[in-house]
Each structure stands twice: as structure tokens, then as C-alpha cells.
């Protein structure tokens, strides 16, 4: 992508015009959408790609011996190529489509966890994981006798690498499963270093890239990890589509997750033979339209270019951290050296839900709650926080609106 | 700026949310229950002390939550004192209707007076995501009265 020509200069006003929803008003005010870490808005290119498929070129994939099915199969498999390119995967057969990151992690916990890991081995996660990277491992622990270890974070909100190394030291750990970027603290984890650390102790590394891949280029070969998962709807794509990348030799060793059509090579009542990877893991009619939408989202992001997106979001995050730090009674959670555009905070005298309601009345959408990270809330000593999160379409003026809105919230509850 | 929020955050709510009068565990109690809203992390622990003839003598609570849920818990502790279990359940049912619809159901005179004290909570009905904030303490009350120790607003 982009080989041979530079992308257009980053122009947030022009890019915002690509997202029809940003012109909507809420409570009679301009929408200031600062909840993209929960789910991002969709550019016209994604909407158009999905609409065009439904209007002009749609059938089931991998089965019909007719023009519509063949073209739709090409589009669906083209989406697999797009994901492979996005992740720097060496082999397109290493991309498994799932419903979202949660399903991708459950797939690994089930198929690798029960099929390859042996009872008595351990899985390590961290204190700053999303529930989607906690609960599947608890289920594996309870069903399969796998020990679950939790690596601590530092007060700055970074992984405690020394503690993690100690947890790996006895050689029992078969898999390390960590976020690549915290959805609460914004912390980027040192992915390549984590891969070396895991491999030095005989463990594989899974990274949850749900947040990370929205903001920075990811190359699984450069990182050296073994599994990488992400979800489409945070990357400006539709809901209902996510992906797992895993090294082919691992996928070959893993038994299927779900059984059904499309994942078999032959079926009789006595036994069935599995299809080749990745189809072995894609039972039933897949999310065809969603895959087409995801491919359009990836093309959209690649055309803008990750370096430009990352630079824009770094400026937004710096501005937000300095504006919010100047608000009396406001506490920001997480001060990692390497962080992305997610800022969690509390405001003295106002519960995060009250903060969110009062911001909403000013047209400003933030998330309030535990962000599907209750153990992390406990570690931070709070029940919940408010969270502002940024996307490629976020502007500095919107950060200013947030800061001014928060001052009004403070006055209201003073 | 927030004129339209005054229905939700009436002075009574802000006042009781900021300075709850009954926000402490009872030294001696006959029933207790916890309430959790798993969606938002709000939590309440409620304690009830009964009179010898089974009326609620006093209620006390500890809560982590927003202004709405703390105010609702505090007003609840105030108005359930002196009620027997059936009357307290009837009042809880009326509060839930009030929070969901904004309209106060008809109740007999003694209960109607107590429900009138809760009218400032009617504003939540315009905020679907906040209705559970107002009802959570009442779920805990129903659980405590039933002798089950855990309630959820789900």
C-alpha cells in the first residue's frame, strides 16, 4: 500500500467529512465523540463497500458454483489478504476470521489451551487486561487444570517486567497473554521485548491488539509474537468481524473450536475430517459483509497512513493530558512512557456517571464505568473512571471542549 | 448550560448525594443485603434493624456510586423507617414505577406521603441509562427483606 507515492497530508477537517455521523447533533449541540476506544465511527468507504456488496454482488462463499458466489468468495478472501497485509503476516492462511477479539481469544483458550497446553502448565496475564483476556483463561483454568498467573503493573501503569520474568522462571508457563495497549491506561506494552522474554522461557506470546492496531502499525514478524488478535469495529470497520493471526504450525496443531459447515473436508456419521487452516476454524457461513467492510476500513487507514495517524493522535493525547491536568480535583490514571490516545480520569466530588451525564448534555460522549477491566479498577483503588478516547477524526478543539465541559461539571457539583 | 439537567439533579438529590444522613453501617442489625450493578460498578451494602413487632426501625448503608444512587439510598433509609415488610415492598414497587415512568402510582395515605418524599427521583425516567442508579438501593432493600443477601439491578 502507498508504495511509490506519499499519502495526502493529514487534514483532520477533510477526514471528518468522510464520517457522516460526525455531522449529527446531540441534545442540540455539535457531537464531540470521545468514545472511540469503545467503538469507532465508520467512514463512508466502509458503508459504501458493504452497501455495494448487498446491492450488486452477494451470495454465500466457498460453495456456490455460480458467478455471484465466486465474486463474493473473492471479496471475502480478499479481506483475508488485507488483514494479512495489515499485520505483516507471512502467510494469508494464518488469518482466521472471528466475530471479535473476544471470540479470537476464546478460540485460542479453547483450541490451544485444551488441545496443546497440558494440565499443570500455566498461563500468564496481567493486571491491566480487559475481561476478554481474563475470563477465557479462568474458564480454561477451571476446565483443564491450567494455572493462571497475573503479572502486576507498576504505579505508573506499565507492566512490571521483572515480576513477569520471575513468573516465567519455573518454566511451567506455556502461554503469555497480554494487552498490546491498555483500554483504560493507554499504556503500550513492549511487544517485541515481551516476545523475547516469553520465548526465552519456552512460552508463546498472545497479544490483544484491540486498541493498539487502531493507532499504530503492527508487524507480527517484527514483534515476534505467536498469536495476535484484534476486532474490526474499533478500527473503523463494522461490528461482528475480528481476526486471529497465529503461526501456521500452531494452527495446524490446534483442534477446531466450533464445528459445522465450511470447516470440514468430509463428514460421515462415523467421523469427519477437518478442512485446512484457516477454514478449520471458520465454521458456518462467515461474516461475509463484515469482512468486506473490514477490508474497506483497512484500505482507508492504510491510505491515510499509520505514521500520520499516530502523529495526530500523539498531539491530541499530549494536549489532553496537559489540559486535563490543569483542572482542579482531576486525577488521571496511568502515566506510562509509551502511551496511546486513551485518558481515564476521575473528578473530585462527582462520580464518573454523573460526569458522563453532564458531559453528554454538552454533546460530549465519554465512557464511564469499569471499562470491562474490574481487576484493574481494583488495582487503581477506584470503582470506575471516566474515559476520553481519541481517533483519527478527533480534533484539538474537541479536547478543549472536553476540558471546558469538565470545568462546568466541577462547578455544578461544587 | 444544565437547565435541562435540573430535573435529574434536583437540589434534594445533590444534597443527599453529597451528604447522606444514613450512610453508615448499623452497629446492630437484623437483616443485610448487598446490591451490585455489574454494568457500572455501583455497589451498596444495606443494613436493617427491626422493631420487636417486625417493623423496620432503622436502615443504614455504605455505597460506592453516583449522586443519584447515593441520594436514592439515603432517601430510602429515611422513608422506610417505621414500615413493616409489606409496606416497604409496596413502596419499593412504587419507586421502581416512578423511576421508570416518571409517574407516581396511587398509594394509601401513609405510604403516599413517603412516596412524595421520593418524587425528586422521578427525573431519572428521562435518562434510561441512569434508572438503575436510582433503583439499585431498592433492589438491595427487597433482598434484605427477603433474607437473600445479594441483589442486582440487572
| For residue B17, pLDDT beyond 60 | yes
- One domain, residues A295 and A313: no
Domain boundary among A302, A323, A351: A302
- One domain, residues A59 and A154: yes
pTM reported for the whole predicted model: 0.92
B67/A350 touch (CB, cutoff 8 Å), yes or no:
yes
Domain boundary among A267, A302, A337: A302
Name the residue range of residue A138's domain. Answer: 48-302
Query: Do residues A359 and A327 make contact, with C-beta atoms less than 8 angstroms apart?
Result: no
User: Which residues of chain A lie closer than 8 angstroms to B68, CB-CB?
Assistant: 353-354
Overall domain count for chain A? 2
Which residue do the cell numbers 409489606 mark?
B86
What are the start-end ranges of the E strands in A58-107? Answer: 95-98
* pLDDT of amino acid A7: 57
- One domain, residues A138 and A252: yes
Catalytic residue list of A: 372
| For residue A331, pLDDT beyond 60 | yes
Query: Do residues A34 and A398 make contact, with C-beta atoms less than 8 angstroms apart?
Result: yes
A186 Ramachandran zone, left/alpha/beta (phi>0; psi -120 to 50): left
Whether A41 maps to a domain, the answer reads no
Query: Do residues B146 and B29 make contact, with C-beta atoms less than 8 angstroms apart?
Result: no
Whether B14 maps to a domain, the answer reads yes
H and E: helices and strands count for chain A: 16, 17
Overall domain count for chain B? 1
Could you tell me the pLDDT band of residue A4, with boundaries at 50, 70 and 90?
very low
Mutating which of A351, A372, A378, A382 best tests the B interface, going by the most B Cβ atoms within 10 A?
A: A351
- One domain, residues A148 and A93: yes
- One domain, residues A77 and A210: yes
Whether A114 maps to a domain, the answer reads yes
Q: Each residue of B2-16: pLDDT tens digit?
A: 777 777 888 899 999
What are the start-end ranges of the E strands in chain B? Answer: 31-37, 42-50, 56-64, 150-152
Q: Each residue of A262-319: pLDDT tens digit?
A: 888 888 888 888 989 999 999 999 999 999 999 999 999 999 999 999 999 999 999 9
Whether A395 maps to a domain, the answer reads yes
Domain boundary among A248, A282, A302: A302
CATH of the domain at A270: 3.40.640.10
- One domain, residues A173 and A234: yes
Q: How many CB atoms lie within 10 A of CB A2?
A: 10
* pLDDT of amino acid A2: 44
- One domain, residues A60 and A203: yes
Whether A2 maps to a domain, the answer reads no
How much of chain A, in percent, has pLDDT values that exceed 70?
98
DSSP string, A267-285: E-SS-EEEPPTTGGG--SS
The helix-helix angle for B131-146 and B67-80 (nearest 10°) equals 40
- One domain, residues A335 and A224: no
Q: How many CB pairs under 8 A join A and B?
A: 52
Q: Which residue, among A177, A203, A202, has the nearest Cα to A191 in the 3D structure?
A: A177
- One domain, residues A29 and A60: no
* Rounded-to-integer distance, Cα A267 and Cα A384, Å: 50
* pLDDT of amino acid A206: 98
| For residue B154, pLDDT beyond 70 | no
- One domain, residues A32 and A161: no
Cell of B133: 442508579
Q: Tell me, what DSSP letter sits at residue B106?
A: P
User: Which residues of chain B lie closer than 8 angstroms to A354, CB-CB?
Assistant: 9, 66-68
Q: Look at the alpha carbons of A59, A64, A66, A67 in this order and tell me if their dihedral is positive or negative.
A: positive
CATH of the domain at A323: 3.90.1150.10
Q: Tell me, what DSSP letter sits at residue A111?
A: I
By three-state DSSP, how is residue B98 classified?
helix
Compute and round to an integer the Cα radius of gyration of chain B.
Answer: 14
Could you tell me the pLDDT band of residue A5, with boundaries at 50, 70 and 90?
low
Q: What's chain A's average pLDDT?
A: 95
The residue in chain B having the minimum alpha-carbon distance to the alpha carbon of residue A377 is B41
B1/A408 touch (CB, cutoff 8 Å), yes or no:
yes
The continuous run of DSSP H or E covering B135 comes out as helix B131-146
Q: How many CB atoms lie within 10 A of CB A116?
A: 16
| Mean pLDDT to the nearest integer, A55-78 | 92
Q: Each residue of A81-120: pLDDT tens digit?
A: 999 999 999 999 999 999 999 999 999 999 999 999 999 9
Q: Each residue of A141-177: pLDDT tens digit?
A: 999 999 999 999 999 999 999 999 999 999 999 999 9
Q: Which residue, among A218, A239, A242, has the nearest Cα to A231 in the 3D structure?
A: A242
- What ipTM goes with this model? 0.84
Mutating which of B14, B66, B131 best tests the A interface, going by the most A Cβ atoms within 10 A?
A: B66
Query: Do residues B98 and B115 make contact, with C-beta atoms less than 8 angstroms apart?
Result: yes
| For residue A1, pLDDT beyond 50 | no
- One domain, residues A19 and A54: no
How much of chain B, in percent, has pLDDT values that exceed 70?
95
Where is average pLDDT lowest: A22-31, A388-397, B33-42, B85-94? Answer: B33-42
* pLDDT of amino acid A264: 85
Query: Do residues A203 and A124 make contact, with C-beta atoms less than 8 angstroms apart?
Result: yes
| Mean pLDDT to the nearest integer, A175-193 | 98
User: Which residues of chain B lie closer than 8 angstroms to A353, CB-CB?
Assistant: 40, 42, 65-66, 68, 130, 133
- One domain, residues A21 and A64: no
How close, in Å, is residue A132 to chain B by CA atoms? 15
CATH of the domain at B125: 3.90.1010.10
| Chain B, window 54-73: residues with a beta carbon less than 8 angstroms from a chain A beta carbon | 64-68
| Mean pLDDT to the nearest integer, A116-130 | 98
| Mean pLDDT to the nearest integer, B71-95 | 97
Q: Each residue of B38-82: pLDDT tens digit?
A: 777 789 999 999 999 999 999 999 999 999 999 999 999 999 999
Q: How many CB atoms lie within 10 A of CB A405?
A: 22
Query: Do residues B136 and B44 make contact, with C-beta atoms less than 8 angstroms apart?
Result: yes
Q: Which residue, among A142, A154, A201, A153, has the nearest Cα to A178 in the 3D structure?
A: A153
B2/A408 touch (CB, cutoff 8 Å), yes or no:
yes
Name the residue range of residue B138's domain. Answer: 3-147
- DSSP β-ladder status, A264-267 and A242-246: unpaired
The residue in chain A having the minimum alpha-carbon distance to the alpha carbon of residue B39 is A369
B6 touches chain A (CB under 8 A): no
Whether A1 maps to a domain, the answer reads no
Amino acid at each position: 500500500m502507498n508504495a511509490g507515492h506519499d499519502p495526502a497530508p493529514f487534514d483532520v477537517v477533510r477526514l471528518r467529512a468522510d464520517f457522516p455521523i460526525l455531522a449529527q447533533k446531540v441534545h442540540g449541540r455539535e457531537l464531540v465523540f470521545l468514545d472511540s476506544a469503545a467503538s469507532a465511527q465508520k467512514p463512508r468507504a466502509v458503508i459504501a463497500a458493504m452497501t455495494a456488496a448487498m446491492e450488486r454482488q452477494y451470495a454465500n462463499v466457498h460453495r456456490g458454483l455460480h458467478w455471484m458466489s465466486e465474486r463474493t468468495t473473492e471479496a471475502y478472501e480478499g479481506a483475508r489478504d488485507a488483514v494479512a497485509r495489515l499485520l505483516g503476516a507471512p502467510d494469508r492462511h494464518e488469518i482466521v476470521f472471528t466475530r471479535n477479539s473476544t471470540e479470537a481469544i476464546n478460540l485460542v483458550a479453547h483450541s490451544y489451551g485444551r488441545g496443546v497446553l497440558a494440565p499443570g502448565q500455566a498461563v500468564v496475564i496481567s493486571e491491566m487486561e480487559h475481561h476478554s483476556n481474563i475470563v477465557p483463561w479462568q474458564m480454561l483454568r477451571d476446565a483443564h487444570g491450567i494455572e493462571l498467573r497475573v503479572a502486576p503493573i507498576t504505579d505508573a501503569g506499565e507492566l512490571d517486567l521483572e515480576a513477569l520474568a520471575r513468573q516465567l522462571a519455573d518454566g511451567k508457563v506455556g502461554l503469555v497473554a497480554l494487552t498490546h495497549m491498555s483500554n483504560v491506561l493507554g499504556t503500550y506494552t513492549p511487544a517485541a521485548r515481551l516476545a523475547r522474554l516469553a520465548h526465552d522461557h519456552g512460552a508463546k506470546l498472545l497479544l490483544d491488539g484491540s486498541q493498539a492496531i487502531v493507532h499504530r502499525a503492527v508487524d507480527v514478524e517484527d514483534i515476534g509474537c505467536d498469536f495476535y488478535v484484534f476486532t474490526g469495529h474499533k478500527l473503523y470497520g463494522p461490528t461482528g468481524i475480528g481476526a486471529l493471526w497465529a503461526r501456521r504450525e500452531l494452527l495446524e496443531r490446534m483442534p477446531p473450536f466450533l464445528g459445522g459447515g465450511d470447516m470440514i473436508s468430509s463428514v460421515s456419521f462415523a467421523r469427519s475430517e477437518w478442512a485446512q487452516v484457516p477454514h478449520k476454524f471458520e465454521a458456518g457461513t462467515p461474516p461475509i459483509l463484515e469482512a468486506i467492510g473490514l477490508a474497506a476500513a483497512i484500505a482507508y487507514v492504510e491510505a491515510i497512513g499509520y505514521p500520520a495517524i499516530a502523529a495526530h493522535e500523539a498531539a491530541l493525547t499530549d494536549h489532553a493530558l496537559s489540559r486535563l491536568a490543569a483542572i482542579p480535583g482531576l486525577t488521571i490514571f496511568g502515566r506510562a512512557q509509551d502511551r496511546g490516545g486513551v485518558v481515564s480520569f476521575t473528578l473530585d466530588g462527582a462520580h464518573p456517571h454523573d460526569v458522563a451525564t453532564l458531559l453528554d448534555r454538552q454533546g460530549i460522549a465519554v465512557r464511564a464505568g469499569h471499562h470491562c477491566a474490574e481487576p484493574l479498577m481494583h488495582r487503581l483503588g477506584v470503582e470506575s473512571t471516566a474515559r476520553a478516547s481519541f481517533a483519527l477524526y478527533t480534533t484539538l478543539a474537541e479536547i478543549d471542549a472536553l476540558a471546558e465541559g469538565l470545568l462546568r461539571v466541577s462547578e455544578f457539583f461544587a | 448550560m444544565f437547565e435541562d439537567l435540573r430535573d435529574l439533579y434536583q437540589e434534594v438529590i445533590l444534597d443527599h448525594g453529597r451528604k447522606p444522613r444514613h450512610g453508615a453501617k448499623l452497629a446492630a442489625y437484623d437483616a443485610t443485603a448487598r446490591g451490585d450493578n455489574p454494568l457500572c460498578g455501583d455497589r451498596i451494602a444495606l443494613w436493617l434493624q427491626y422493631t420487636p413487632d417486625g417493623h423496620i426501625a432503622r436502615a443504614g448503608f455504605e455505597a460506592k456510586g453516583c449522586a443519584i444512587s447515593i441520594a436514592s439510598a439515603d432517601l430510602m433509609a429515611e422513608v422506610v423507617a417505621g414500615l413493616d415488610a409489606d409496606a416497604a415492598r409496596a413502596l419499593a414497587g412504587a419507586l421502581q414505577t416512578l423511576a421508570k415512568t416518571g409517574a407516581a402510582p396511587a398509594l394509601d395515605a401513609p405510604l403516599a406521603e413517603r412516596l412524595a418524599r421520593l418524587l425528586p427521583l422521578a427525573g431519572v425516567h428521562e435518562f434510561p441509562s441512569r434508572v438503575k442508579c436510582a433503583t439499585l438501593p431498592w433492589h438491595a432493600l427487597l433482598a434484605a427483606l427477603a433474607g437473600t443477601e445479594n441483589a442486582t439491578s440487572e
